[in-house]
Structure 1
């Protein structure tokens, strides 16, 4: 068996022109362009075992995405000093590998992660989002009350079944643990939601944002988002916020010695 080395890749991308992370035969995806670039350096036939911390949807951005690949040790020896620079020349301008770090083979970008943190940006000015931020900021034409947004958010923190906010998948749990959910208004007036959890279901963050926006602009009571947690199927009352306002900003991991233990625990939880 060919000796290999596991590499952690820290990745950022503008999701506007991507059909999400996951490789699809006829669509442009982040995994697709990354695999193609690596294949040009180590051979297209080389299995990479590309594994990502979180599969972002079409249009969603990332400044803190993490994935891992397994490269033949000989290829790493040849490329170690130049791999980051070479990838910069091969990757499109809307996707970047920002760091490459050798890690133990117990590291799993998906299952070793302890949290994923997202931000969602909303402009509630009468004229909408600034043109230069139109790809990562939602324009909301109703004024938003920060206190109401945070009151609605408080109802959603903790470990719950978020079936009302998820696109359910067969044999997959919708129980998640949100450890942080809060809104702030930046100096430029933009409302920014920060949401952190051990993991998220498909469309969960955007559904949570959609519910909180209905509270923030006064159309719903602050207790409404929390009341939906009693449901065991997706709520038709929740509007999913558009993808372009959402950015994955960080993925957390335990100490190196705990990679395997964390991965095993996560696999048991997901089962």
Structure 2
């Protein structure tokens, strides 16, 4: 049976999603809890997005294949009884055979939160919001963000992994203030490469501080190489908010499309 689990976690004390020997990771905690609850040696899981160390999630999605999980609602309760308080399973459902948490996703939505005025700084959420000493110009940041939206090679904003493509479709990149005055960046793409969101935010924060013009973002993008002038902002301001999937009857087609496009991108790079 294929099971979908929706997770939330506070990334502060995790060394990212992916399991690493001797380090506490979200994947490690989840698979350990699953092995305990299901009374099996190990359980493999696939996630929608491998978040970096310190990055949080409200809408992480995973899938797994298990022989006899029992009632899924009971599985969720038992997992939450074993897991530490900084990671929760919010929902569990039986998924169609073609559901794939990673390759079946239509898009991922992240939010990056910045408190750039004294009134917006809240010590109660300091581990989830980046504090900056001076106000940022969100109009300049939005003007620059528009230059980055679309299907591009984002090599300038990614830590290159051997054999991996850096071509992505950035569907939305925008900034707005919430009711507390916190500046919230919304970033939506079909997928993200390593450190991409934090590098995009770092570029736009540099522009928002007035240290670079808006068209600098386009110059960086077109150069297609990492530039040390682009800072990678701290992880704690970033949260994976949501992952979207097509209707069940379109899952197989989406999986085929994603795999074909990924293969084509890897050949082109």
Aligned ranges 1:81-160 → 2 under 5 Å: 81-126=73-118, 129-160=121-152
Separation (CA, whole Å) in 2 of partners of 1:150 and 1:82: 45
Where does residue 165 of structure 1 map in the other structure? 157
Separation (CA, whole Å) in 1 of partners of 2:118 and 2:69: 53
1:118-172 CA-to-partner distances (Å, cap 9, x unmatched) read: 0000000248731111110000112111211111111110111111100011111
The one of 224, 234, 257 equivalent to 1:242 is: 234
* 2:120 and 2:181 in contact (8 A); partners too: no
Is 2:13 the partner of 1:17?
yes
Separation (CA, whole Å) in 2 of partners of 1:178 and 1:232: 15
Separation (CA, whole Å) in 1 of partners of 2:224 and 2:12: 32
Is 2:250 the partner of 1:258?
yes
- Residue 82 of structure 1: how far off its partner (Å): 1.4
* TM-score, scaled to structure 2: 0.95
- Residue 101 of structure 1: how far off its partner (Å): 0.8
Q: Which runs of 5+ in 2 are unaligned?
A: 264-269
- Residue 266 of structure 1: how far off its partner (Å): 1.3
Separation (CA, whole Å) in 2 of partners of 1:194 and 1:80: 32
DSSP 3-state at the match of 2:61: strand
The runs of at least 4 consecutive aligned structure 1 residues that moved more than 4 Å come to: none
Cα distance, 1:230–1:91 mapped onto 2, change above 3 Å: same
1:231-262 CA-to-partner distances (Å, cap 9, x unmatched) read: 23212210001000000000010111111211
Where does residue 175 of structure 1 map in the other structure? 167
Query: How many residues get paired?
Result: 263
Where does residue 48 of structure 2 map in the other structure? 53
Separation (CA, whole Å) in 1 of partners of 2:132 and 2:230: 16
The one of 198, 217, 220 equivalent to 2:212 is: 220
* TM-score, scaled to structure 1: 0.94
Q: Which runs of 5+ in 1 are unaligned?
A: none
Where does residue 8 of structure 1 map in the other structure? 4
Superposition RMSD on alpha carbons, in Å?
Answer: 1.3
- Residue 181 of structure 1: how far off its partner (Å): 0.7
Separation (CA, whole Å) in 2 of partners of 1:104 and 1:129: 44
